[in-house]
Each structure stands twice: as structure tokens, then as C-alpha cells.
Amino acid sequence: MYRFKFAKSTSVMAILFCFLQTFSFSQGIWTQKTSLTAVGREDGVALSINNKGYFGTGYNGPFYSDWWEYNPATDSWTQKASLPIPVNPGMGLRAATSFAIGNKGYVCMGGQLTGAVTDLWEYDVTLNSWTQKSPFPQNGRIWCSSFSIGNKGYVGLGDDGSGLYSDFYEYDQASDSWSQIAFFGVGNRENAFAFTIQNKAYVGGGGYSAVCDDFWEYEPVADIWTQKANIIPSSPSSANLGFAISTINKGYMKRGFTFRMYDPNTNAWSVKTSFPGGTTSGAASFSIGNKGYIACGGDNFSNYYNQLWEYTPDTASGIEELEKLEASIYPNPNNGNFSISINEKEFNVTVYDVTGKMIYQNKNEKQINLTDKPKGIYLLKIQSDNKIYSQKIII
């Protein structure tokens, strides 16, 4: 990390401006999208099929079995057929796990009021219907990890209420059958994140009696787990989630509000823009094209959210494809009261500090009040559709 000392010299200030511009753009962009048109919750599941996202189940006191489709083209949600499990009294599902194979989605295990279940449910997008498949072959569990490679799904780890596990099982869609694969690299755990990049799976984080930072690659042909670079230390939470953006072959991990990217080509992690939706746990994630999405979640104060955030990566498939947005910010510098000049009717405003943490956001408002923020340099970003404007501002 570089350290800069403020000076009256304009050359030093110019270096700082250059650093801030490079740092902020290299972190990616978060954009708030239309919230789930249902109650907020934690411990739901999500997956993507055919350029649509799917989210459902979860908990906020009651348990839920509803199922929703997200269309990024229209930024809208549509309710679909609920999982056919009893919902009274409160017999939905929480802390299940999910994966997709082709045009079918799968929701596996999870918890009900009566305890953890072994159920596997298959969702048919075309028919908008659910079919119960062969159950998971071991004890029912919550907070498992799952991924898919080709026409196989994989489920493992988790908590059955009496202990944690390190086993993994492969689900064969064609034969509707399960078989055990190699045990996970090291240690029983729950809440580990997982994603797939180029026919290899990556699983890490989670916890048991302590938060884990180890990270492992699974090669299905050889049935071998190989340890990779540890996760860059982040917020002290075992509640992790992850997704991969296949267009750029990168994986992403959220823990608390911290957000990291993994590059399998260099076996290295890098820090990305902090998640702006708070230090939520029990959120769910999916990816579509060159975007990642994080939905819902809760906090330690019994607050439950129906929010949806979209992440655009800092690559040729991401930010660099965005056109320049015509806008301006004034007066700059000032005491924290800024005005925006813009012709667009629909736009999102975000402000980041020098660490990349988002400290302010609004939608379609041309006045920005940062008078409660410390004096310093910040980065303002305004995004409207596929156009973006960025400007350093000084308080």
C-alpha cells in the first residue's frame, strides 16, 4: 500500500488525484437495482438460468417457500411457482443450498421448524414447475456449499445441528443419483462460499469455531482438492457468499461488507469496492453475463432486507464498455453541499472514500449533502444505463 503525505505542492496533489482515480476505477461499480417485490429475508438461495436470476425461500421469523425470477433487461421481478412444501405453520425453507445444470435449477436440503431436511427439488424454467428428486444421501443440513460443473451438481459441508461436515457428494442429473467424492481439503465447516471457473470449482472461507481464510480448488476428473492462495483477511464473519463472472474467468467473495476478487491465472486475491448494502449475512448471489448480483440478507439487529445490488467488474467486459455520461458537479471544492447538472431523468449517484468504501448514495437526486463527512478527497460516480461520469470532489 502506498502512503501519501498532504503538501501544498500542486505536483503532490496531482499524484494523489491520479492515485485516487486509478484506485477507484480498478475496484468495479455497485449499482442498486429494483428490490425483491416481497418481504426482506435472510438465508434464501439464488441461481441463474438463461440470463435470468432466481431467488427464493429464506427466513425472517416465518420460513418461506416462494420463488422469484429477476430479469436484468427490465430490472424487474416476477413471482414463479413456489416450492411445493408445506408453508403452514411456517414450514418453508431456510439456509438451503442451490445450483443450476443447463435449464434446470436445484434447491437442496435446508432447515424447517422440524429440523434439517435431505430434500432435493428440481425447477423447470420452461414449465415453471418443481419435481422432487433423489434426496441427499446423508443427514439433512443447513449452510452447505454447492456448485455445478458440466451436467453434475456438487453439495457438501454444512451443519446438521449436532456437528459440521467436510464431505462432498456429486449429483448426476441424467441418472438422478448421488455418489461421494473426495472430502474437502481441510476441516469441517459451514457457510463456505463456492463458485466455478472453467470446469474447476473453488470453495473457501466459512467457519467452525473460528473464521476460515483457506481456499481450495476442486478438479473433478482427478477428484482432487488443491489448496490455493488464502483469502485476503477481511471482516471477521464466517457468513460468506461468492459468485464467478464467466466472461472474464474471475471469482468474487463477499464477507460482511468486504469484497474480494480471485484470479485463477495468477492464484491471487485483490481488494474490490466494498459491498454498499451493509454488513449483511444470509444474503444470496448469482451472476448473469458480465454482472454479479447480491440479494436480500439480514443483520444482527433482526433487520431483514429485500435489496438487490449489481456488480460491474473493472475489465474490458465491464467498466470500459460504459460510455461517458455528460454531467458536472459544482461547486467543487466546498463544505459538502454539491449540485449535479445532468440531463438524464434516471441515474444513480455514489460517493466513495479513498479506501474504496461507498459513503453516500442516492437515486435521481441532483443535490448531495456530505457536510457530515470529514474533510478530504472523494470520488463521485454517476451512472445512467450504460453511461458513467466520475469526478474527484473535495470537502
How many domains would you assign to the chain?
Answer: 2
pLDDT at position 5 is 31
- The CATH number that applies at residue 359 is 2.60.40.3080
Does residue 24 lie within any of the structural domains? no
pLDDT at position 86 is 65
pLDDT at position 237 is 62
pTM, rounded to two decimals: 0.77
Q: Domain range for residue 104?
A: 29-313
pLDDT at position 379 is 87
Question: What would the DSSP string read from start to end of 303-337?
Answer: -EEEEEEEEE-SSTTTGGGSEEP-EEEESSSSSSE
Task: Please indicate, yes or no, whether residues 220 and 369 belong to a single structural domain of this protein.
Answer: no
Phi, psi of 346 (to 5 degrees): -115, 120
Does residue 254 lie within any of the structural domains? yes
Question: What would the DSSP string read from start to end of 341-368?
Answer: EE--SS-EEEEE-TTS-EEEEEES--EE
- Range name among 70-74, 143-147, 377-381 with the lowest pLDDT average: 377-381
Does residue 8 lie within any of the structural domains? no
CA angle 295, 185, 96 (to 5 degrees): 30
Task: Please indicate, yes or no, whether residues 158 and 225 belong to a single structural domain of this protein.
Answer: yes
- The CATH number that applies at residue 103 is 2.120.10.80
pLDDT band at 90 (very low <50, low <70, confident <90, very high): low
Is pLDDT at 189 greater than 50 in this prediction?
yes
pLDDT at position 20 is 39
> 149-173, pLDDT tens digit by residue?
999 999 999 999 999 999 999 999 9
- Range name among 105-109, 219-223, 301-305 with the lowest pLDDT average: 301-305
> 346-368, pLDDT tens digit by residue?
998 988 887 667 789 899 999 99
